[in-house]
Amino acid sequence: MLETATAFGIEEALEKLGLGEINEGTSTGSDNFGSGEIISSYSPVDGALIGKVKTTTKEDYEKVMTTATKAFKEWRSIPAPQRGEIVRQFGEKLRELKEPLGKLVSYEMGKSYQEGLGEVQEMIDICDFAVGLSRQLHGLTMHSERPGHRMYEQYHPLGVVGIISAFNFPVAVWSWNTALAWVCGDVCVWKPSEKTPLCGVACQNIIAEILKKNNLPEGISSLINGDYKVGEFMTQDKRIPLVSATGSIRMGKIVAQAVAARLGKSLLELGGNNAIIVTPDADIKMTVIGAVFGAVGTAGQRCTSTRRLIIHESMYDQVKDAIVDAYQQLRIGNPLDQNNHVGPLIDTDAVKMYQNALVAAENQGGRILVEGGVLSGDGYESGCYVKPAIVEAENAFEIVQEETFAPILYLLKYSGEVENAIAQQNGVVQGLSSAIMTNNLREAERFLSASGSDCGIANVNIGTSGAEIGGAFGGEKETGGGRESGSDAWKVYMRRQTNTINYTTELPLAQGIKFDL
């Protein structure tokens, strides 16, 4: 490893997470994680090799599924509040390991250390939520039309839940799924991104310790590693009734078709092309904070990142000048250094997409307000650091219609009433997160109405980026339509059953049908 890892305590963090043996670039060597080819994990922070893991072969996968399906038979019979107790213990362990796991997230993925800690806090929060939920898996009681009959519905565990997660939230999204699935009585098989495999191994180490301590089957939580080919094991497997997949729209369409072909269920969290509408009644200071963090946080690599700023013509220049000025103050560099605002992109492929997007924006008629570019020299050896850019554009530009996972913000203009801005915001295929900055109650309510934002998330006077676990998270249109985390998202991890009990000596039929023998 390079000096960065030593200076910021990465090696110590790896030791605490049970990864001490791989910090010299050796394999995990664990059959639990695979026996196939090697994945090398390089940090985008400094280009150093953090470690290597083995991928999962088809034979490995079959062993995992055998273990998982066997574990499900035991786990589903344990009362839900007792399952919640296991999740509580997991949350407590995460509290103990918040700092080292947050550092690993920051170092392997490239997001700021504060965001790494925030991601682990999301894991802790969803555990707390799930513990309470374990005593609230409610069904309904209905009145029967037949005398002496009682009707109700209840929810039962689905079985093995497959989880495919993306690099940008290498631990939190997994926990959103597993914490809920576990209290619902499901077991989970997880394929983390091949770009952040060590975060997956670390999380598996943590939950494996909890399961062993409580004499529970290890198959309650399983890990598989590899690229899309390993993911296909799950999408095509009839033993997995639900596949939860987070990633690009392209990937989601492939997963959806494969799972639907076997009549399974898929929970999809795909791309976003999120906008903030700025009306004449907006608070400029709040707008700048929300827009800048939304656009450059995680180097623009969030599905909720702010891609478009739709500004009323009457205040366009004022907002533009404030945003451009704020960008001049951004500090780009090592994300473990808390003085920096922006870290690296995940890899050099992401850098190429960023560069291509800026070229396309100019070719399609965009005007560069804040120039981008790739940083080089001392501290930027990995080649993954880029400058956040701002482009004046039109919503109809092809590049604006796409999601570029990088810190590029498009400034768009609208005139007239707020409905015109809403039309622009909705005029993309994605429908994840949206926001409006206004102190006008009528504008806010129009934005939140049925004819307003068509996104799964619609905010007033906060940005598009970030979400609390208490609310259901997800989007509409080509974002996939899935919901994770809070509210009643737990229901997707269970099967619904309607029950009718006849406690009489007669057998009347529904709808008054007569059938006498």
- Catalytically active residues are 269, 303
Residue 158 near residue 186 (C-beta atoms within 8 A): yes
How many C-alpha atoms does 46 have within 13 Å on its Cβ side? Answer: 20
* C-alpha to C-alpha distance for 88 and 91, rounded to whole angstroms: 5
Look at residue 317 and give its three-state secondary structure. helix
Q: How far apart are CA 408 and CA 402, in angstroms?
A: 12
String of b and e for 376-388 (b: at least 16 CB within 10 Å)? Answer: eeebbebbbbbbb
- Report whether 1 contacts 48 (CB < 8 A): yes
Q: How far apart are CA 64 and CA 66, in angstroms?
A: 5
Which residue is it, tokens 């400058």?
387
Pairing of strands 274-278, 306-312: parallel
* Maximum separation of any 2 CA atoms in the chain, in Å: 91
For 154, phi then psi, to 5°, come to -140, 165
Contacts with 431 (C-beta within 8 Å, 6 or more apart), sequence order? 454, 455, 456, 475, 476, 477, 478, 479
Q: What is the DSSP letter of 386?
A: B
Asked whether 187 and 75 are in contact (CB, 8 A), the reply is yes
Alpha carbons 230 and 37: distance in angstroms, whole number: 12
Strand partners, 457: 433
CA dihedral 452, 366, 251, 292 (to 10 degrees): -60
Tokens of 442: 């009528």
